[in-house]
Structure formats: structure tokens, C-alpha cells
A and B are shown apart, each in its own frame.
Chain A
């Protein structure tokens, strides 16, 4: 909402106030701004002048030599503009002036003739092209009105007129108007509000002889007021009106349209003017459209209607889409002689649906959608007539047709002063509150703690006690409310699960793994990239109905795809090594199509590559992670059938018969689908199971004080036998005093028979109660050896 200060000044005396001060104070009572446009900063030394002669340029066909009177002197100015006549009042940029685009105007010669300045267009005075009247887009701005020659335009037009842009919140549609902002200004600055002049000096004939109006749907059309203007002369508006409209962001058209726009901006009430002579049967009927009925709107588009559209009709046909746009057939043209001025109130819901169905949103429809009080229609109609007279645009016909069957009534709301004090946290008397409400034109009577409040009819947002709490608070000023802290004891801490979240991340940080954050939605094509089989349940996913694009349409069912995408981006950027993780949700539908909320499960995924990364370094991270989470008891089972992973380098991770997840090298085909050309290792865990299995309850175990006895064994093992198989036999047969077993060497190649490998283990024996004897250790050692030989055909080397 653009509010020029000179327009606001018509209702509240603000012209002598500091603009920054006004802006700041209004912000603090709830009218937030997007900024102030000081138009006059954009140019310098532009003076009002009058063209006294126009001659052809002696040396150029397309140029003219003009003499322009600027009171103290007469300047010779060369111009190519063709829209000027002798006697026109124009803005003149004199020698040394600056125009809005920053150009400095200097005295000079144009094709041999002296040019002592420049005549200005509207754009050169700082207006945006979109608000400049059609006729002035390529020409000089001809000033229409009583302007003093020789004066600076900043004062004379005026252009020294800051424009405040307000951000109007949805609860205050009444503020989408100059009067609305004037009321806020008046309440904020504690200044008197002056209402617009509604007097009509001279009225002729009787409206009933011109038109009759019938409203068939009083639900959708709450009020329909109309005035008739006769003997209209359509012409250009005076410059003061054009300038105000342009400053408020509206392009001037002609006197009648400009007046309706002016009153719309002033009151917030859309107004439509019909060419009265084009209405058949001297009749207006407001009704819903018949299915298939057609109208061509002012934008020259033929629109097919249905029963959701409310239409304004004459005796024969639709002539306007109610509250949205007028019809071409009854448009006001330069030749129009008589007008019907419509000031109506349409149901906001219907306008919203109607405008949505027609895909046609206009300034008027937007205002009806946001809500307008039916109470303002009559004043707005009178104001239009007042301005018609003021501009000499026509004669006002006596009488008003005003169909308003259910007049809105004033509403009484009880506001308890104690309640206001309790919610805001201050201590005001009921009378003080009533006084504040009075500034907002709320009528009040105070009875002890109770304030009976009657809000003005234009305030559609004041319906319950809490609405008044806000009004009292904001006008009192939030900055005047003391800061306190809530009373009472409460402590905060992370929940057990939240602590485990943090712990998991800390462990990974300590292992050199960095955290990433990726979107919760991803392309369904990643399911193919991951080579998830067609019939897999992992292909069931939650689909977004209105995604930003196909590539963001699937709620992720895994974290691996995003991880590989991030890895690919880093790989493309020549990052030599990385180790990353993400802890986030995946989404598993309960039903397809999705009806219920899906399962949201937390997973953690780690992805790494680099010259030193192997399956075993990644497994080291996994082991440190599980150990850190207190999951001591887990096993890895070889997994050959997970398409994501290399069939020879993948395992599932289990703890207490629960599947924790997978670890492996990513399958070369999967990598190729993600355009990654080096080995990538991934851990993918179900974090909910990790949390279930985690145990962070630490109990100290005494440090052993008796000495150890060590035994090394070097074994010749068939290639396919796994470490785990050997380990299980050693652990099973090593006795209670076998403290630990570690694999310290694996070797294949020279000196080792084809199909075999050498594996060397160190066994540590220790008792918690006593010093062990060599003999008993040797006994266990021998038992281990013989079992290894017996069960796995392993020989000592």
C-alpha cells in the first residue's frame, strides 16, 4: 500500500512532521513499512514553465525550437516532442538540472541551435513506466491545472512528497486505503482526523427515471448502491489527481476512471462505472450466472460462466462480473454521455471462488476477497459525486438507489480490564484502556472492570475480547511494556533419545566424518539409480501431489541416494577424499495411495572415498560407532544380494537378532548411475534400532592386576574360510581365561600354497584371580589348535 504524504495530509495534519518519525511511530503501532520513497531526491532543478512559441528547427526536420517562459527569463529549448502546444505548462529541466535517471542537463547546441534546458517526461521525474498515462509515455508531461510559472516543481506539484509503502497484514483490510492509514496515523500521533468532503452542490432529475435495480441474491450481494451522472464529459484529469494516482501506483486513464480509482484508494471500496446508455431496458439485475452464459470482459477476453460467478446484468445480458471486472459492452468510452456508478458489496468467499475459477484476479477482486465493510458504500458513492462536481465532469442526478436489506449493526463486546492486564503484564485502569480504544473510534462505556466496547463498522477484525487486548497493547506501545521472565520452576534437558542423537554425531565427528544436510524429497528415478528391484517394497513411496518438479516429488525412502549425489558433486569438484554422514528421516507409506500419516524412521548413513579408504577403514568407523553407542554384541553377515552394494564386499549388521543395517562398497553399476568413478564405501543404519540397542549406562570394570601369557599362532587356512569362523573356534575352546584374540597378519602369495592364505593370531590369556601357569595355557592352546584342524582343516605353519 503506497501512501504519499500529501494524500495522507488531506485527513491528518502531517505535512510538518518528520517523515522518519512518522514512519517509526506507525511501525510501532503495527503498520509495518517496506520503506519510504523520496521521489524528490531523484531529480534537481526542474521548474514549471510555459511554452510561448514553437518553431521548426532550421536544420532538422524532426526537431522543434521552443521558447519557454520560466518567469525570470525565457529559455530557448530544442525538443523532438510532438505532444506540446503553445500555452502548455510543462516541467523544464534548466541548465545544471538532474533528471531521474541521473543525467545532468547542460546548456548546449543541437544541430546549430542553442538549447538551454530540456522539457521533461513523466519518467524523467522519477515515475515508473507502469503508472504513466498512455498519452505521456513518449511525450512531455503537460501540466493540467493552475501552476505557477517559475516555481520549482518539487513545491508546486508537489513532488517533495515522500511515499511510504505499508505492509498491510491480512487482519486489516480496512488499512488498504488512505482513510484506513489516516485513522492509524491519527490514533498513533494523537491527531484529529478530517473526513473527506461528501457534499454535492447541485443535483438534477431523479434517479428512478433512469434506472431500476434488482438484487436476486442478497447473500452474495450484501449491498448495491448506485448513482447516476448525466452529461458527462470524458477528458484528462487535472494533474493533481493524476500525480496522486501515479504516486499511489495507479495509472491515470480519464477523469471518470481516475475518480473511481481515487475513491477506491481513499475508502478501500471498489467502484465500477457503466455507460448508462449501453444498459438495455434501464435495468440492473444482480444474479448468479447461468451455466454456459458468456461475457467479454474489459480485457477483451470472452469468458464462459457458471453458477459460481455472480454477474451484473441489464434487462438482456451480463454486463459485468460482479466485483471482478466490467464487461466490454458497457465500458466507459470517450464518447460516453451518462454514467451509472456502482458501489456494491459482494461476498468475499464467492468472489474468491469466482475469481479463482475464472483465473482472473483484479485489484477489485483482491479487495473483496480480503473483506470490505458494507457500511462504507454510501459514503464512497457520495464521494464519487463530490469529485465529479469538483472536476466538472458531469451533472449528478438526484437520489441514490441503495439495496441494503441486512444493514450491519454495531456490536457490543465486553472487555475485562483485569483480563487485559493479566495477558499483557501491565497495570492500566479501565478508563485508560477506554481512552486508548477511543483513539481507534471504538465507543466505550466503563463499569468497574468491564468495558463495553463498540467497534466502528469498518473494523471487521474486532469481534472478541482478545482482539481488544491486542488493540490496547499496540496503541499503548509494546516498547512501553516492561520485560519480565516467566515465574515458576522448570528445568530443561535433552531426552534420552536426543542425547543419543548428539552422542552418535560426536562419535562420527571424532572418526573424521562430517555432517551433511540434504532435502527430504528426491527424484523417484534414484530408485533406479540405486538398482532397487522392481518388486521390492523399497519402491513404495510417499508422493508429493504438487512438487517443484519430478526431481523433488518423492519423499525419500533411503538416505543413500542423497549421499551419493553429494559425493558425486564433491567428486566432480576434485575433492580427493571425504567421509560424510547424514542423520535424517525416511518416509515409509502405510498405504498406497497414501491416506494415513506415513512412518517416519530415522536413519544414519555414512559415505566415504579416498586413497586410504577401504572396506575395513569403513568397518572401523562402524565398530567405533557401535562401540561408542554401547552396542558391544553385534555380528556382520555377508550379503551378496543387495543390488546397491558390491556382492563380494557387503554385509548386514545384526545385534540380538535385530537388523541394524548394512555396510559395503557401493556396486560399480550403482556408482556408474551416479557418475562416480571411484570406489565409495557406505554404512546405512536404522537409527531407531541403534537407539533401541544402545546402552550408555557405563559400569567400571577393575583393571586386571595379574600378568598375561601370550601365544602367537600362524595358520595355513583355506581361502574361503572367514576370520569369524576361526575366531568363533578360538573363543569357544580358549577357556575362561582367554582374554583377547587379535588377528595381526594375513598373507597370500609366495610360499603359500595356491588356494590358501596365512593368518596369524595373538592369543592373550589372563585370570582375574591369580597368576596363570604355562601348563594350563598350553593345554587350552593345544585344544584350540586341534579343533581348528578338526573343524576347518587348518594347519599350523
Chain B
């Protein structure tokens, strides 16, 4: 009996070792350990053995059974591992083949620029104010202290609907609307469409975009104006940007200034981009004229403020290196997809 078990164990071990698939292994398991398996059969025959042999053979049979069982498990694990490896190998792919894309939409560069500027100003405590594209002559010129004979009022500079209404030439009328409807402190920007009587060419468009800002409070100074715009320039064009405030003249503000920033291409050394002088003019600004404050019902002795305005299209063109304003309004899909 013991011998039979030894032979059986050897046979089983041999077959297990040779086994190359999980199916085969399962068969072997049934053949030896199943209900009618060879080892089971031996154990079944235990009853007919002499009493003194029973424990010895029983023990041996159990050892053989456990050994076979463990061996099968071991091989099973190995085969599983092997099969997985093979499966993974078969699933090998060319990772350099292009990805399958879901088309996403692109934001127009002007609205992208407006968003970027809005975020900067919101971060500095500004609210965004909006107003109509068709405005009154009063809001667009008169209330802004624009002299009656100012060239910008002429029909060769401004689009008119009638003698009282026009297409706004700047977003400053929004400032008038805000000052008339809201008590100081006021801290707003107004981005939007503006219109001037310019034929469309590489650098002019009859429609363009502006962003203007207005801050009114007690004790607002020109130093605050400088500090604010210097910060804005750094946020828009980079931390190393420097600003230069040149005295200028605007009817709406006094004192007034134009602001240049160091060329963000060459950092101020002078290059083709900035026509060699290292500076690029980006905005106009100044202290709100007392007449404008008074016109809007704000006490100019108690309150002071500053205002500024810049061309969004121009800044977008500088930033994205667009050399022709017309492409902004052509909306060629190949252009839009770059933003």
C-alpha cells in the first residue's frame, strides 16, 4: 500500500510538472484528488486494512494528498502568472499612434484677453460695469468734458445714429452711467466694443475693444494711479515690466498721462518689435477732471479719482504677436483654433 502511494505520488508529481495549461491541471486534480480520484480511492480502501496499518497508511495517504494538493496550487499560480503575461504581451500597442480626440471649442483671442484682464482687475478689487454700444452724445462726449469743437466729435471720426445718438467711441460713457447711479467709493472696469470712423486695414478697424477703469474715493491720488497701473502692467506683461508715465492731454482727466511699458520682447533694450526704443505705449490715464465729477453729482472737493483706458485688440495683438487686426474679425477656424 505504501508503495502504491509512493508510485502514485511520483506519477502525480510527474504529470503536474509536465502540465502546461490550467485545464490540464484541473484534470489532474480530478484524477488524483477528485471524488473518484486515485488518492481518494486509496483512502476509501482503508477500511479493509489491518488495524495496525491503518494509522500508518492513513497518515501517509494524507501527506501524499496534501503534497499533491500544494503542488497543484503552486503550479496553478505559476500558470496563471504565465498566462497573464502572455495576455498582456498580446495586448501590446503602438503608443505613438495619435490619440482619439474629442473636439473642444476655442475662445476668441479678444474675449480671452478680456477675461484675463477682468481676472487681474477683479483680483485688485474692481467690479465689471457694462453699458450699451449705442450711446448718447451727452454720455460719450459732453459729460466727459469733451470740447464742443473736439475733432473726435466730427462725422469723419464718429458714427452717428442722429444728432443725439452715436456708436460709442470709448467705454467711458459707462463711467458716466456708473458715477450718476452709484455713490463713491467706485471701483470699476468697463470692457467692451467701441467704434470709430476708420476704414479697415492692417492696423485700423471701425470696431475695436477697450477696457477702461475708474476709481473714485476720498484721498485718491495720482500716486495711486501710478501704483495701480504699474501693478496691472506687471500682471499683464510680466513681473519685470516697468512703466513710464508721460504727461498728456485728455478732456476727461487732468492731470493726464500716457503710459508706456518696457517692451516685453526685449525687456527694454530696443528691438524690431518696439521700433528700437524699448518702450511700447499701451494706455491713457489721468485724474478725473473735477468738472466731470461735478457733472455726475459727485463733490469734487470731497472725492477724487483716476481713470484709465486701453485698447484690448492692441494688447491682444502685442501679446499673441498678431500683425494684422483684420484677422481678429475674419474668424478663420484655423486662426481660432490657436487660442
- On A, residues with C-beta under 8 Å from B are 27-30, 32, 169-172, 348-349, 352, 369, 422-426, 464, 466-467, 469-470, 473-474, 478-479, 481-495, 498, 502, 505, 508-521, 542-548, 552, 555, 566, 569-570, 573, 575, 578-581, 585, 587, 593-595, 597-598, 600
Supplied contacts A486-B217, A543-B161, A595-B162, 20 more A-B pairs, CB within 8 Å:
A27-B246, A28-B246, A369-B149, A425-B221, A425-B224, A426-B223, A473-B222, A478-B222, A478-B245, A478-B255, A484-B226, A492-B121, A492-B125, A520-B133, A520-B193, A544-B159, A569-B330, A570-B331, A585-B132, A597-B136
In the complex where A515-B336, A543-B161 touch, is A486 in contact with B228 (Cβ < 8 A)?
Answer: yes
- Chain B residues 224 to 246 lying within 8 A of chain A, measured CB to CB, are 224, 226-228, 230-231, 244-246
Q: Assess whether B320 is interfacial by the CB under 8 Å rule.
A: no
Q: Which of A425, A487, A489, A547 has the most CB of B within 10 A?
A: A425
Residues on the A chain within 8 Å of B328, using CB: 517
Residues on the A chain within 8 Å of B34, using CB: none
Residues on the A chain within 8 Å of B257, using CB: 478
Main secondary structure of the interface of B (DSSP, over half): mixed
Mask of B84-117 contacts with A, CB within 8 angstroms, 1/0: 0000000000000000001111111011000100
Q: Roughly how many angstroms separate A21 CA and B248 CA in the complex, as a whole number? A: 19
Which 6 residue pairs are nearest across A and B when measured between Cβ atoms? A425-B221, A425-B223, A30-B247, A169-B249, A512-B103, A509-B105
Residues on the B chain within 8 Å of A487, using CB: 217, 219
* Beta-carbon contact of A32 and B246 below 8 Å: yes
- Chain B residues 129 to 175 lying within 8 A of chain A, measured CB to CB, are 132-136, 147, 149-151, 155, 159-162, 164-165, 167
In the complex where A466-B289, A470-B247 touch, is A509 in contact with B125 (Cβ < 8 A)?
Answer: no
- Chain B's closest residue to A28 (CB) is B246
* Beta-carbon contact of A575 and B334 below 8 Å: yes
Residues on the A chain within 8 Å of B248, using CB: 30, 32, 169
Q: Roughly how many angstroms separate A493 CA and B122 CA in the complex, as a whole number? A: 6
Cβ-defined partner of B134 (8 Å) among A348, A473, A474, A598: A598
Cβ-defined partner of B162 (8 Å) among A470, A575, A594: A594
- Chain B's closest residue to A467 (CB) is B254
- Chain B residues 315 to 335 lying within 8 A of chain A, measured CB to CB, are 328-334
Q: Assess whether B187 is interfacial by the CB under 8 Å rule.
A: yes
Residues on the A chain within 8 Å of B149, using CB: 348-349, 352, 369
Q: Roughly how many angstroms separate A177 CA and B304 CA in the complex, as a whole number? A: 34
Q: Assess whether B185 is interfacial by the CB under 8 Å rule.
A: yes
Task: Categorize the interface residue count of chain B.
Answer: 35 or more
* Beta-carbon contact of A515 and B161 below 8 Å: no
Q: Roughly how many angstroms separate A487 CA and B149 CA in the complex, as a whole number? A: 38
* Beta-carbon contact of A170 and B187 below 8 Å: no
- Shortest Cβ distance from residue B220 to the other chain A in the assembled complex, whole angstroms: 6
- Chain B's closest residue to A576 (CB) is B333
Residues on the A chain within 8 Å of B334, using CB: 573, 575
* Beta-carbon contact of A29 and B247 below 8 Å: yes
* Beta-carbon contact of A516 and B223 below 8 Å: no
Q: Assess whether B46 is interfacial by the CB under 8 Å rule.
A: no
Residues on the B chain within 8 Å of A600, using CB: 132-134
Residues on the B chain within 8 Å of A474, using CB: 247, 255
Q: Assess whether B195 is interfacial by the CB under 8 Å rule.
A: yes
In the complex where A486-B224, A494-B118, A579-B105 touch, is A594 in contact with B331 (Cβ < 8 A)?
Answer: no
* Beta-carbon contact of B105 and A511 below 8 Å: yes
Q: Roughly how many angstroms separate A304 CA and B248 CA in the complex, as a whole number? A: 41
Q: Assess whether B206 is interfacial by the CB under 8 Å rule.
A: yes
* Beta-carbon contact of A424 and B221 below 8 Å: yes
- Shortest Cβ distance from residue B26 to the other chain A in the assembled complex, whole angstroms: 35
Q: Roughly how many angstroms separate A238 CA and B117 CA in the complex, as a whole number? A: 59
Q: Assess whether B19 is interfacial by the CB under 8 Å rule.
A: no
Residues on the B chain within 8 Å of A170, using CB: 147, 150-151, 249
Cβ-defined partner of B220 (8 Å) among A466, A486, A492: A486
In the complex where A424-B223, A514-B337 touch, is A479 in contact with B245 (Cβ < 8 A)?
Answer: yes
- Chain B residues 187 to 218 lying within 8 A of chain A, measured CB to CB, are 187, 193, 195, 197, 199-200, 206-207, 215, 217
In the complex where A423-B222, A509-B105, A548-B199 touch, is A486 in contact with B215 (Cβ < 8 A)?
Answer: yes
Cβ-defined partner of A422 (8 Å) among B221, B226, B331: B221
- Chain B residues 61 to 87 lying within 8 A of chain A, measured CB to CB, are none
Residues on the A chain within 8 Å of B228, using CB: 485-486
- Chain B's closest residue to A30 (CB) is B247
Can you report 7 residue pairs joining A to B where beta carbons are below 8 Å apart?
Answer: A425-B224, A473-B255, A509-B107, A514-B107, A517-B331, A520-B133, A545-B162
